[in-house]
Structure formats: C-alpha cells, structure tokens
C-alpha cells in the first residue's frame, strides 16, 4: 500500500476534543487577520479552501463580527479538526467543513451556495501538485460574485526572484514531492488568474517573506471564443 502524503509539514498538536493546532498558524494568524481585515467589511461569506487545522477560521470569526466562514479540505484528519473547531465555536459563524479537492471542477455544495464574497486559501498551492493551483483559480473564477476576492497567503517568487529562505523551502518541498514547490506569482499564478476573470488587486508583504495576495473577480467576465 502506498503511504498517504502528509497533509502538513509540521507536527500538529491535538486537544482532547479533536481540535488540532499548528505552530505556523499560531505565528501567522494575527498578521493574516490584519491583512484580510482590509477587505472584510460588513457581512462577508467566505469559503476557505484547504483549511488545515481550522485555526484561521476560528480566530478570524472571533475577531470580525460580520464574517461567516466555511471550512473545507481534502484531508480527513484536517476535516475532523475543522469539525472540532466548529463544535467549540461560540459565534455560530463557522460552517462546513466541506470536502473539496481544489484540483477538481466540482466543489460539491460550494457550487450551489450563493456566490461567495471571498475565497481564501493559505499555504496550499506550494504543498500540493500544480493542478490544485489551477483548480483553485478556476474555482474562484466560477464561484466568486463579481467584485469578490480570492485571497492567497503563503510564500511566492516574483518574476523569477525568490528570497533565500523561500528558495531553501522550495528545495525542501521538491525533495519531499517533485510536484510541490513555491510558485511564482507573476509567471505562474497571474496567467491563471487572468484566464479565470480575476485581476490582481493588491499584494501585502507579510512576515517571514510571505505574501497575502488579493485578486478581484472582474465585474463582467465572458469566456472569449475565437472564431476562425
Ligand atoms: C500546509 S497545510 C495548510 C493548512 C492551513 N491553510 C494553514 O495555513 O494552516 C496544506 C493543506 O492543504 C490541503 N490540501 C492539499 N491538497 C489539496 C487539494 N487538492 N484540495 C484541497 N486541499 C488540499 C491539505 O490537506 C492541508 O490541509
């Protein structure tokens, strides 16, 4: 039997009720909240793709009263942790979790929900094969309401330039799985965004050479057919 690849690169602690905790989420949850708060104004329905332990959703909904957050993931252990965070939630604004494989074009009940205001994904596209990134951008183009945001958090290269810590991380990722790796925002991700009707809205520099990247779904998007 082939071993299942790990869902996370770090040891995730587990509470008795099943909530898992990841050291990286403890470090980045406040900067992530502050970055997202720039656009999370009023009542916001957010779908998180690849929620991992579920800590970002729990922390952000507790701090932002208009925010309704739906968890999702492909990994059963992560989905169990998200369920446990939802069980401990007192805001009533943590939903899901949905089983979503970002690389597919069928995101289950997320497809039939009212168009999402925000789709957020942290630390997924470099720790998953490339189709997870292409599927994520396609999904955002398909399911965001016009003017809605796709927000990505994690390490990126920019036009071929990469911070030394991210280059070392990239090597480490590729040694674990050759299909993983730090993606280039300008050369890899922007063309996908453009093809999905998303435009780059803002890039916020984050601690430890990470970025928060905001894309916005264009108001009217039609697939262009070339007729010969
Ligand atoms: C490094 S963890 C990040 C978790 C969380 N977003 C965070 O920042 O703490 C990567 C997550 O991506 C999920 N993942 C990997 N491939 C996926 C896919 N194709 N679709 C959805 N989730 C995926 C894994 O199960 C895992 O929960």
Ligand 1 centroid to Cα of residue 124, in Å, is 5
Average pLDDT over residues 55-76: 97
Ligand 1 centroid to Cα of residue 90, in Å, is 25
The residue whose CA has the least distance to atom 27 of ligand 1 is 52
- Cα–Cα distances (Å) from 52 to 45, 74, 115, 127, 196, in that order, read 19, 9, 23, 12, 25
The pick from 7, 119, 131, 206 for probing ligand 1's pocket by mutation, whose C-beta has the most ligand atoms within 8 angstroms, reads: 7
Pocket flag, ligand 1, residue 8 (CB < 6 Å): yes
Cβ-contact 88, 61 below 8 angstroms: no
Q: Which residues pair with 48 in a beta bridge?
A: 120
State how far the Cα of 111 lies from the Cα of 92, in Å rounded to an integer.
22
The pick from 22, 23, 50 for probing ligand 1's pocket by mutation, whose C-beta has the most ligand atoms within 8 angstroms, reads: 50
pLDDT tens digits, 91-148: 999 999 999 999 999 999 999 998 999 999 999 999 999 999 999 999 999 999 999 9
Cβ-contact 44, 68 below 8 angstroms: yes
- Output the pLDDT for position 9: 77
Ligand 1 centroid to Cα of residue 89, in Å, is 21
Does position 32 have pLDDT exceeding 90, yes or no? yes
pLDDT tens digits, 154-181: 999 999 999 999 999 999 999 999 999 9
- Output the pLDDT for position 4: 53
Cβ-contact 119, 110 below 8 angstroms: no
The pick from 73, 103, 152 for probing ligand 1's pocket by mutation, whose C-beta has the most ligand atoms within 8 angstroms, reads: 73
- 2 falls in which pLDDT band (50, 70, 90)? very low
CATH of domain 29-217: 3.40.50.150
Pocket flag, ligand 1, residue 104 (CB < 6 Å): no
The residue whose CA has the least distance to atom 15 of ligand 1 is 128
User: Phi and psi at residue 88, in whole multiples of 5°?
Assistant: -90, -5
Pocket flag, ligand 1, residue 7 (CB < 6 Å): yes
Report domain extents, the chain.
29-217
């Amino acid at each position: 039997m082939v071993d299942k690849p790990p869902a996370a690169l770090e040891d995730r602690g587990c509470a008795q009720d099943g909530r898992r905790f990841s050291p990286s989420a403890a470090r980045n949850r406040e900067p992530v909240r502050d970055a997202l708060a720039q656009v999370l104004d009023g009542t916001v329905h957010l779908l998180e793709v690849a929620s991992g332990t579920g800590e970002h959703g729990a922390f952000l909904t507790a701090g932002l009263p208009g925010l309704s957050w739906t968890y999702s993931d492909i990994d059963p252990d992560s989905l169990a942790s998200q369920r446990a965070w939802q069980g401990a939630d007192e805001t009533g604004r943590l939903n899901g979790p949905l089983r979503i494989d970002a690389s597919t074009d069928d995101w289950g009940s997320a497809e039939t929900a009212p168009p999402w205001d925000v789709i957020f994904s942290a630390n997924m596209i470099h720790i998953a094969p490339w189709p997870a990134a292409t599927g994520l951008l396609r999904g955002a183009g398909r399911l965001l309401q016009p003017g809605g945001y796709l927000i990505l958090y994690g390490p990126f290269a920019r036009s071929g330039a990469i911070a030394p810590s991210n280059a070392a991380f990239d090597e480490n990722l590729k040694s674990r799985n050759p299909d993983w790796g730090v993606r280039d925002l300008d050369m890899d991700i922007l063309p996908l965004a453009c093809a999905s009707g998303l435009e780059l809205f803002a890039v916020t520099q984050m601690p430890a050479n990470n970025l928060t990247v905001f894309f916005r779904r264009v108001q009217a998007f039609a697939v262009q057919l070339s007729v010969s």
